[in-house]
Amino acid sequence: MPIAMIHIAEGRSEELKHQLLVNVTEAIAKSLGAPVESVRVLIQEIPETQWAAGGRTLAERKRSQA
């Protein structure tokens, strides 16, 4: 049973996350020759204040771009 864990920043719509789950499931099933029913995909959403690159959080980056 393949399992994929995807980390994304919070804020995307339920529709976008659902489409991500569908697309990743199909890609894994096709790549591994596994039944779609056996593929597990988990999304973990990280708050923008807890995701940083270069010492700046996503929230800080958004504020500076506004």
Could you report the per-residue pLDDT of 5-14, keeping only the tens digit for each?
Answer: 999 999 999 9
Q: How high is the mean pLDDT of the chain?
A: 96
The two structure tokens encoding residue 65: 């771009």
Catalytically active residues, by annotation: 2
DSSP the chain: --EEEEEEES---HHHHHHHHHHHHHHHHHHHT--GGG-EEEEEEE-GGG-EETTEEHHHHHHHH-
Quick one: 3-65 is in which CATH superfamily?
Macrophage Migration Inhibitory Factor (3.30.429.10)
pLDDT beyond 90 at 66? no
Domain residue ranges of the chain, discontinuous segments joined by +: 3-65
pTM value is: 0.85
pLDDT tens, 42-59?
A: 999 999 999 999 999 999
pLDDT of amino acid 33: 97
Provide the CB-side half-sphere exposure for 19 (13 A, CA): 5
